[in-house]
Amino acid sequence: MRIRSKAFYEKAIKAIPGGVNSPVRACKAVKSDPVFFEKGEGAYLIDVDGNRYIDYVCSWGPLILGHAHPEIIANVYFASKKGTSFGAPTWQEVELAEFIKSCVPSIEKVRLVNSGTEATMSAIRLARAYTKRKKIVKFEGCYHGHVDSLLVKAGSGLATFGIPASPGVPEELTAHTLNLPYNDFEKVEEAFKQYGEEIAAVIVEPVPANMGVIPPKEGFLQFLREITQKYGALLIFDEVITGFRLGLSGAQGFYGITPDLTCLGKIIGGGLPVGAYGGKAEIMDMVAPEGPVYQAGTLSGNPIAVAAGLATLKELAKPGTYEKLEALASKLEEGIKEALKDLDLPYRVHRIASMLTLFFTDKEVINFETALSSDTEKFAIFWQKMLEKGIYLPPSQFEAWFVSLAHGEEEIENTVEAVYKVLKKMHKD
Ligand SMILES: *Cc1c(COP(=O)(O)O)cnc(C)c1O
């Protein structure tokens, strides 16, 4: 029973639009009311009614160490005792910047901001300034935060509500955005043939996770690298999810591609608000005060957020962490695949590193359009029944499930068992 959750939600909708501070939390896509949470412990969430869930949302990616990791708590505590914000430089910001640089070789200089949205917005501005061009290529179903010019066919939140773009974004602001299908070599080639001299940058989630997890086709990222180079455009990897998720060097290390600019967020804040954008020094040196491209932030590089981020990255840099994540996530993938096989269900499981999506479709999923072939009604029922079994999944078909280092064999086994039972029951009914 979620009596208190319901009561809080009823209050919330009177004070906050939709009762939530970010749309997908509302659980409308899974025809449910949101669960209000009291606390997190490792791989578990406890709601305000005292129910316990194994958590695969993990705050939508940042919590790769799980909830309330003792190192993060300690670092946040000691940082906050020294003061919550100075509006002046601290040495810890430098340490975080150096740490990021040492892990992600394409980043020679990095600027800290407060969110992934700020990072992509700033990277786009910088790319336009550097190339003196206007057009941006993005891919359908890739989400880059709620930046005006990028809010076109932008993945889960919008897919969930069937809004192609957002009211309040003038056409003039998206007029320079070319929206192409992901994994489509030809469409990219055509776009460059037609507009090559006008394209400032291609921005891409190297592994899209905001339309469900979709791996890049063999050679696709390399192709983007080559064609941008050929036409003098920049390649921007939006690694807000994949950064420090696919390994210390992110998707660029995983696939061996060097982008010009990289956007980070989520994990580098360890659950506090942080984003970052960085890349070649020559490009980054155009950012104020070194250069003319303005970008600023009252709380950018906030000492408490930086402390949480540093603690997270230092834990991740310990030997064996990514191997452990891989083993756990692979066990989850194999378990779900076995359940599907046993029950003779045609659904698709996609996994890259510790991100996974179960698509309720029998079609091959390679881009946004094919992802939309998923049966979202079925997913809604699945989500509800999983919740009743104590598993908290992202409340949308078009999202990634995140495995953290706090998950263990037992949690994975319990999850697989729940998936099997729920699918079996759905199948019979
Ligand atoms: C979450 C996300 C963003 C936006 O980050 P916020 O911190 O929510 O503004 C941008 N790009 C990608 C790929 C993301 O997953």
Same domain? 270 vs 406: no
Residues 109-144 have pLDDT tens digits of 999 999 999 999 999 999 999 999 999 999 999 999
Average pLDDT over the chain, rounded to whole? 96
Stated as kind and residue range, the H or E segment containing 210 is none
Residue 146 has pLDDT above 80, yes or no: yes
pLDDT in tens, 338-368: 999 999 999 999 999 999 999 999 999 999 9
Query: Is 294 a residue whose pLDDT tops 80?
Result: yes
Cα 316 to ligand 1 centroid, rounded to whole Å: 20
* DSSP secondary structure of 15-50: HSGGGSSSGGGG-GGGTSPPPPEEEEEBTEEEETTS
Choose among 122, 127, 278: nearest CA to 198: 127
pLDDT band at 63 (very low <50, low <70, confident <90, very high): very high
Residue 216, helix vs strand vs coil = coil
- 139 and 61 in a common domain: no
Catalytic machinery residues: 143, 238, 266
Q: Which two tokens stand for residue 340?
A: 């599907």
Instruction: Give the CATH number of the domain where residue 28 resides.
Output: 3.90.1150.10
Measured from the Cα of 115, ligand 1's closest atom is 7
Q: Which of 296, 316, 336 delimits the end of a domain?
A: 316
Domain that holds residue 36: 3-68+319-428
Regarding whether 141 and 231 lie in a shared domain, the answer is: yes
Cβ atoms < 10 Å from Cβ of 320: 9
The predicted pLDDT at position 153 comes to 67
Phi, psi of 240 (to 5 degrees): -60, -35
Q: Output the pLDDT for position 154.
A: 65
- State whether 91 and 123 are in the same domain: yes
Please count the CA atoms within 13 angstroms of the CA of 139 that sit on its side-chain side: 32
Cβ-based neighbours of 119, under 8 Å, separated by 6 or more:
113, 145, 240, 263, 264, 265, 275, 276, 277
- Angstrom distance (rounded) from CA 301 to CA 86: 10
Which pLDDT belongs to residue 152? 77
CB 316 within 8 A of CB 84: no
Tell me, yes or no, whether 50 and 182 share the same domain: no
| Among the listed residues 123, 180, 111, 128, the one whose alpha carbon sits nearest the alpha carbon of residue 147 | 123
Counting atoms of ligand 1 from 1, which one is nearest the CA of 210? 15
Q: What predicted TM-score, i.e. pTM, was given to this entire model?
A: 0.96
Q: Tell me the backbone φ, ψ of residue 175, rounded to 5 degrees.
A: -60, -25
30 and 49 co-located in one domain? yes
Mutate to test the pocket of ligand 1, among 266, 274, 300, 302 (most ligand atoms within 8 A of CB): 266
Whether residue 297 sits in one domain with residue 268: yes
Q: Which two tokens stand for residue 389?
A: 């079994």
Question: How would you classify the pairing of strands 37-41 and 44-47?
Answer: antiparallel
Ligand 1, CB cutoff 6 Å, lining residues: 115-117, 120, 143-145, 205, 210, 238, 240-241, 265, 275
User: Angle at which helices 303-316 and 70-81 pack, to 10 degrees?
Assistant: 150
Domain count, the chain: 2
